[in-house]
Structure 1
Amino acid sequence: MDKIIEQNKNKFNEFLKTKVSRESTVKQYLAWMSKIQNWFIEKKIVKDDFNIWVDVYEITKIEDYLNDEKKSGWKATNKPIKNWMSSPWNAWVAFNENNEITIEEMDDIDLEKFDIHSFNERVFESGLIFSEKLISRFVSSLLTKPFVLLTGLSGSGKTKIAQSFVKWICEDDRQYKIIPVGADWTNREPLLGYPNGLNPKEYITPDSGSLSLIIEASKIENADKPYFLILDEMNLSHVERYFADFLSVMESDDKINLYSGTVRKDLDGNDIPNEIFWSKNLFIIGTVNIDETTYMFSPKVLDRANTIEFRVDELNIKSFFDLPSKIDLSVLGSKGAKMAKSFLDISQENSIEKDEEYTDTFVKFFNELKKVGAEFGYRTAVEMLLLIKKLNIVSNISKNESVDIAIMQKLLPKLHGSRSKIAKVLDALILLCLKNGQTFSIAKSDEVLAENIIYPIAFEKLVRMYKNALDNGFTSYAEA
């Protein structure tokens, strides 16, 4: 009997993988099965009756379903999945009642819920020095939109925070690629490859492995795994030249065409599809250094990303010198992999709610930014509200803190101009960061009391930009 049960289990698992992995009901079924299994393990309940019911009776029904499919075709069958899903659920409810188990108790069992505190702890163990707020900003930005830019001082940890997160949440290193951008990237070939003009059956894939990663991420069986493409020093070349296809499809369900005609293969004999798409489980992180060898991002790029600035302050550097330690990222290895599906589920929670306080604040910023042509559109408005929502999901953060982060990451990156053009606007924006009734003078900016600042991150950035405008006659969000 045990052998039959094991065989039926294998058949059932294979069926779920190959036939209906896209169906939400099946995903719910799998999650439910996992919860039940964990519950039984925890409670040490005898489960023979339950196993026989699932592995024999229901497998028989599924095999009948498959036989019908062979006769009439998958799409033509008149037995929707929900029809055989309802029976197992009703049977489980009956079993539940007979064994004095409550549905509420089952719902409380969620061993794989995404927990940012677990990541914080592992980061600390690894020897990296990042504040919990910075980690929350980074993770929440990924959950808001799968395109994040990390800018700031060279050596401040931009690549390390990305590397540490992907090591923590991925099952193995096949789910991410760290690719250094070259100064000679003038088209999409370094990321997407190109069809061999001399061989109509061959497609040359990039050595970086970026295309292979994108194709793997789009496979049905990998839908519950996050994949990450980390582009290091993204602005060594003009982003709009090599990244244009990605910018285009980011806001739509359109696909990127690779070639036309019959199917081509790579040098290893693998089929390369003639078009690819940006799947919901693919995240792209770009690191940005600002110096004389790099290029500035256009508003088109900045508008589509969450931009996080990395700075090293006195407290950070003192903490390091007080307790210097060697970085060991191995302690992060796949420790958060069981939370990957929960992470992806949160990333798909895209409903937004009205909040009059947010509206009033953002409209005031809009009116001031408009004076220098840096106002924002509907896309940015939606993404600010989503960012605030994701910040509140993953961390305990106040309303003012979340608004402060949204202003810093979505409104200020496009702000730039000469002293004569921008000084008055900077002054007005700084006042919006202070409590009502406060006055401001750039000469006395260090004397502003912390309790009078509503949005400290944005305030500090705007003051630095103001000082740069006075010293250099020009200022921008990006700082060398």
Structure 2
Amino acid sequence: MRPLSELPAEWQVTISGPESARRISSLARHEIEVHVRHELLQEDEELARRHADNIETLSRLHTERRQAQDDARTAQAEIESELAKYRQRRDDAERSAADFEIKLGIERDQFAAYKSTLEQEKQVMEINYRRLTDLLIEKGNRLVALGLADAEDVAALMPEMTSSEDERSGITFADALAGDYARLAPLLQTRMADVGLLYSQAQLRDLLALLRTRDLIVLAGDSGSGKTSLVRAAAAAIGGISTVIPVKPNWTGPEDLLGYYNPIERSYQATPFLLALQAAARNPHVPHFICLDEMNLARVEHYFADFLSLLESRSTSPEIHLYTADEERHVVVEQSIFLGVEAEARRRSGLPDTATLEEILRHDQANAELHRIGGLADNESVMVYHARLRRSLAAQLRMPTSITLPENVWIFGAVNMDDTTHHLSPKVLDRVQVLRFRNPMLADWDAIEREVQEASSSIAPFDGPLRMLPHELGSRAEYPAFDRSDVNVAFLSLIARQYLDPLGVEFGLRAVRQSQGYINAAIAAGIGMDEALDNVIKHKILPKIGFDSARPAGNGRSRRELLMDLSAELGRRFDNVGLDAETSSVGDLERMIRLAEGNNGIVNYWLR
């Protein structure tokens, strides 16, 4: 058929004769058979391919079914294993619960028995306590009757006879300011302004932060700059008590601060400082500010070193040992013997238990018995012996062998640097916080008065004085742990490593932790982080700077260059944070560098 279809149309071919038709038919049949065979071959190939695919699919399905069966068996085994574990745990828990119930029952019975025993012991202790109290009262009354002790001294030994409540009048800190420490500075500012004292809120917030640290606070400044006035006014504003103790130039040891035991008079010679501590201990609810005025008239490390070491104890209240307990024991034995002798003399002469020493001496038989039993010679006066006993007993009653630093005491030191005073040693500076006062005549009085007016308008008025408790100002605690990840600690470490150590200025781990404690307290007092760090530089670093800038530093560089670099470092840290350029640490350090130029290169924080 194909040859016919391929003939040109213009040929006009016609079919004629029988052979042509057969040939054409044969060719057509051949083509048809070829085509049919080709189609059958393709269908066979397709069927074969599909069959192969079906076999492969069937094989994969068998494999997946076997894998699924294996996974199911594995999962079933794991579930059964977990169920077995849970059953085991349940059984163990049930057994533990049963054991716990048994133990609980036993402990409940033991607790009931212990409670019963405790109640019995409590009753016995109450009976013994009443007997002891009665005995103390009896012996105390006897000591008073014999004139060996004053009634006030005996009453001080009886806790139930002394009041432990806060008897101050006024409004509490919680009622006045809702216990918000950050709002305290404006209130103090207005109260001080009412008595004619003007301090900026920045000064008062700094003071409140320092109070919260419970460190020794050194107030530095010229005479008349308001150091002791601030202590008195701050104590009065919070309902506290202030005691200003002038330091004498001849103080050379701890006995000038705390007193000493006089073995001849058998009594302790107390000092105003020690008496102030005792007064604070008798009023634990009242804050007591004790200020050593002109602290550096004598060398601080000579008379205050032992006390500074005691203040390093932060977790517990430091105990101050005054003298040995041997003297106390001697007095107790001596008094006991005398009381026994006079009791026997009264019994033999028939005098009552209430007889006074005067009645015993007037009674001939009792007087004679007292001399005879006591072994007193005829020419030895009972009155002389009695006077010696009275002095020694009064000394023991009024001054124990040791006292604990009261929690309601804050210690200040006021210093003035001139030709008549001594510089503070590195040991002292390492343990204190220095708050420096500028010349009051340089203060911006208008700005302070505006602060006072704003504070007066923002604080709700209330009647009566403020009455704060010691713990509301801050409690003694360990300094924060050294935290290298803290940004302020990292900055202080950088300053110490790159500048202070080459300059020979000590700034160690304790100073860093102390600085961390101040920053935390400053934030509570309403001071921003940047200002708090700036105050740390002024309190703990700048006061330690004092040397000849012409000499080379430890790393070989010029000390003056190091100071200039330190000033630049501080300038970068406190750039654009809103600090007063004149009162900031950068301003103070630049002033020190300028003054050194006219002082033969001697750099000194205290130089004016």
What TM-score do the two structures reach when normalised by structure 2?
0.53
Counterparts of 2:177 and 2:122 in 1: how far apart (Å)? Answer: 31
Counterparts of 2:529 and 2:177 in 1: how far apart (Å)? Answer: 28
Counterparts of 2:549 and 2:421 in 1: how far apart (Å)? Answer: 23
Counterparts of 1:197 and 1:178 in 2: how far apart (Å)? Answer: 29
Q: Paired residue for 1:308, among 430, 435, 441? A: 435
Indicate the SS of the match to 2:544. Answer: coil
Alignment of 1:20-419 (within 5 A): 67=123, 69-70=125-126, 114=181, 115-171=184-240, 175-200=241-266, 202-206=267-271, 209-218=272-281, 222-252=283-313, 254-260=318-324, 261-263=326-328, 270-312=397-439, 316=443, 319=446, 335-345=465-475, 348=477, 351=480, 354=483, 356-367=486-497, 368-395=499-526, 397-419=527-549
Q: Deviations over 1:159-202 (max 9, x none)?
A: 1111111222245xxx43101111111222332111112123x1
Corresponding residue number in structure 2 for 1:477:
605
Q: 1:234 to 1:294 in 2, by over 3 A?
A: same
Counterparts of 1:162 and 1:463 in 2: how far apart (Å)? Answer: 30
Q: 1:153 to 1:271 in 2, by over 3 A?
A: closer
Shift of 1:285: 0.3
Q: 1:129 to 1:454 in 2, by over 3 A?
A: closer
Tell me which amino acid in the other structure corresponds to 1:246: F
Q: 1:178 to 1:108 in 2, by over 3 A?
A: closer
* Structure 2, unpaired ranges of 5+: 1-118, 131-173, 332-390, 451-462, 552-558
Which structure carries more helix by proportion?
2
Mapped contact 1:146–1:282 kept (Cα < 8 A): no
Q: 1:139 to 1:72 in 2, by over 3 A?
A: same
Q: 1:241 to 1:375 in 2, by over 3 A?
A: closer
Indicate the SS of the match to 2:289. Answer: strand
Q: 1:456 to 1:191 in 2, by over 3 A?
A: closer
Counterparts of 2:176 and 2:446 in 1: how far apart (Å)? Answer: 39
Indicate the SS of the match to 2:493. Answer: helix
Counterparts of 2:402 and 2:588 in 1: how far apart (Å)? Answer: 42
Indicate the SS of the match to 2:550. Answer: helix
- Report % sequence identity: 28
- Higher alpha-carbon Rg: 2
Shift of 1:402: 0.8
Q: Name whichever of 283-292 and 112-121 sits farther off.
A: 112-121
Q: How many residue pairs are counted as aligned between the two chains?
A: 357
Tell me which amino acid in the other structure corresponds to 2:263: G
Indicate the SS of the match to 1:371. Answer: helix
Corresponding residue number in structure 2 for 1:5:
none
Q: Deviations over 1:288-334 (max 9, x none)?
A: 101100000001111111001111376526659999xxxxxxxxx99
Tell me which amino acid in the other structure corresponds to 1:181: V
Indicate the SS of the match to 1:412. Answer: helix
Mapped contact 1:203–1:266 kept (Cα < 8 A): no
Shift of 1:390: 0.6
Tell me which amino acid in the other structure corresponds to 2:229: K
Counterparts of 1:407 and 1:147 in 2: how far apart (Å)? Answer: 17
Tell me which amino acid in the other structure corresponds to 2:572: K
Q: 1:353 to 1:148 in 2, by over 3 A?
A: same
For the pair 1:425 / 2:562, whether they are aligned, the reply is: yes
Indicate the SS of the match to 1:160. Answer: helix
Q: Deviations over 1:192-244 (max 9, x none)?
A: 111112123x11112xx22122133345xx44432221011100011112112
Corresponding residue number in structure 2 for 1:457:
584
Counterparts of 2:242 and 2:257 in 1: how far apart (Å)? Answer: 14
Tell me which amino acid in the other structure corresponds to 2:188: F
Counterparts of 2:197 and 2:175 in 1: how far apart (Å)? Answer: 33
Counterparts of 1:124 and 1:109 in 2: how far apart (Å)? Answer: 18
Q: 1:190 to 1:478 in 2, by over 3 A?
A: same
C-alpha RMSD of matched pairs (Å): 3.6
Mapped contact 2:259–2:268 kept (Cα < 8 A): yes
Indicate the SS of the match to 1:420. Answer: coil
Q: 1:294 to 1:320 in 2, by over 3 A?
A: farther
What TM-score do the two structures reach when normalised by structure 1?
0.66
Corresponding residue number in structure 2 for 1:434:
571
Q: 1:460 to 1:216 in 2, by over 3 A?
A: same
Q: 1:258 to 1:248 in 2, by over 3 A?
A: same
Indicate the SS of the match to 1:287. Answer: strand
Tell me which amino acid in the other structure corresponds to 1:150: L
Shift of 1:268: 6.4
Mapped contact 2:582–2:588 kept (Cα < 8 A): no
Mapped contact 1:141–1:387 kept (Cα < 8 A): yes
Counterparts of 1:387 and 1:268 in 2: how far apart (Å)? Answer: 43
Indicate the SS of the match to 2:571. Answer: coil
